[in-house]
Structure 1
Amino acid sequence: MSRQLPLFPLGTILFPGMTINLHIFEERYRSMIATCIEQRMPFGIVLIRAGDEVEEGRLGAAPAEPHLVGTTAEISANVRLEDGRFLLTAVGRERFTIRQITQRHPYLVASVQVLEEDVAPGVTKAAEELRAMYLRYWKAVEVATGVPVEPDELPSDPATMAYQLADRLQVPLARKQHWLEAPLLARLYEMASDLRAELALMPGSQDGAGQGFAGLGSLN
């Protein structure tokens, strides 16, 4: 079932279950957030596909065109400053796909449909493989650096685990957007494959040549 959702195009991605801190300063988004707070309704965060994140006060700024898949954001805390700006924290809730843009001014509103997580056979096995690769990766980091590592314990739920890792892994935004859009089974296998590729770059790795160490940055 479709519903109307105000959109906030950004140069970042919010995954379900993750939090984001926002500084709302453009007048149009102040109005949007004020309405969301008053009506206790979520808004949608979508990665910008083309255009500019900030238009107000910028000559020649192009309107933001969003990717079609984003995440609903529920405001969990907010402070309204004296000049009308907002500082807020929001939590990602559900993935959605844009069916139609129904309003463009002063801010985007779209008819969206929530995307349910698939329950395809093999999800549990794929999650176990990703968990094992995650632990192997950090063990290899410990060996390569000589520094003890205690990786965070991953959630038991496959979807929650995938979103948490997708949020933390330092990969290009295009890759993160692909994971947001992909079915859960594909997401789990692809993330395990990416970790395996990074593992192969580590010195002394048995998964590949081990020439150099690109790393994924901190997952903690």
Structure 2
Amino acid sequence: MDIYLPLFPLNLVVYPNEDLNLHIFEERYRQLINECLETGQTFGIPAFINNKLRGYGTEMSVTTLHKRYDDGRMDIKSKGHRIFKIAHFENPAPGKLYAGGNVELVETEPETGNHLNELIVKLTRLYRLLQIKSDLDEETPLLSFRVAHKIGLSVEEEYELLTFPRENERQRFLIRHLDRVLPVVAEMERTKDRIKMNGHFKNLDPLKF
């Protein structure tokens, strides 16, 4: 299914069901958001990484106008919906200050995935090492999108995750990342413990030669 969307490129990746707070200050995007507030239309945030429009993005809706400033700036709350791939980009859109384009919507089935248990185990270990409270819910569909911003992925890796069509692929991608990260984090924690011990009185067994 193809639709036309106003586009708001940003140097970040937004996932379906994600809440995103935005401070709107450029005139072109004030125009875009005002139109969304007036009509209820959605807009798109395509990922703009390393000065390049990468092609994939997420359809967004404005959920709340949090604050409007005297000079026209706004603080808004928005929410991610469907993933899209840009088919035709134009900047600016006809008669507008902002960009727009025809996009192909990417269907995302609410899968739980076949690697969920392994992913949960590794995520739990990471959060325990970092002493972060875990709110993982094994019943949540598309868990990969929920945790992607919380495991140390680069923006390029977050974008790559957005392009995978199936939850199984996304889970395998995250598991490979965690397999690389967990030994590093564990060693950092051991180093921190050794540093904390430095300067303390220690009971040392005499060495026997």
Give the TM interval when normalised to the shorter protein.
Answer: 0.7 to 0.9
Matched, 1:115 2:98: no
Q: How many residues align?
A: 185
In 2, the alpha carbon distance for the partners of 1:102 and 1:128 equals 43
Offset at residue 190 of structure 1 (A): 0.9
Report runs of 4+ in structure 1 exceeding 3 Å deviation: 211-214
Query: Structure 2-normalised TM-score?
Result: 0.79
Aligned with residue 136 of structure 2, among 122, 135, 153: 153
Describe the SS at the equivalent of 1:92: strand
Describe the SS at the equivalent of 2:152: coil
Map of 1:41 onto structure 2: 41
Q: Map Cα deviations across residues 124-169 of structure 1 (whole Å, 9 max, x no partner).
A: 3212221122123334x17xxxx6x54222352341x111111222
Describe the SS at the equivalent of 1:72: strand
Aligned with residue 194 of structure 1, among 170, 177, 199: 177
* Cα pair 2:82 2:108 within 8 Å, conserved: no
Aligned with residue 147 of structure 2, among 165, 174, 178: 165
In 2, the alpha carbon distance for the partners of 1:103 and 1:138 equals 42
> How does 1:7-22 map onto structure 2 within 5 Å?
7-22=7-22
In 2, the alpha carbon distance for the partners of 1:134 and 1:23 equals 31
* Cα pair 2:120 2:138 within 8 Å, conserved: no
Matched, 1:30 2:30: yes
* Cα pair 2:12 2:49 within 8 Å, conserved: no
Query: Structure 1-normalised TM-score?
Result: 0.75
* Cα pair 1:127 1:158 within 8 Å, conserved: no
* Cα pair 1:15 1:167 within 8 Å, conserved: no
* Cα pair 2:19 2:77 within 8 Å, conserved: yes
Aligned with residue 73 of structure 2, among 85, 95, 108: 85
In 2, the alpha carbon distance for the partners of 1:77 and 1:44 equals 17
Describe the SS at the equivalent of 1:125: coil
CA gap of 1:36–1:155, structure 2 versus 1, over 3 A, is farther
Bigger Rg, structure 1 or 2: 2
Map of 1:206 onto structure 2: none
How much identity, in percent, do the aligned residues show?
25
In 1, the alpha carbon distance for the partners of 2:116 and 2:170 equals 10
Question: Higher mean Cα deviation, 75-84 or 87-96?
Answer: 75-84
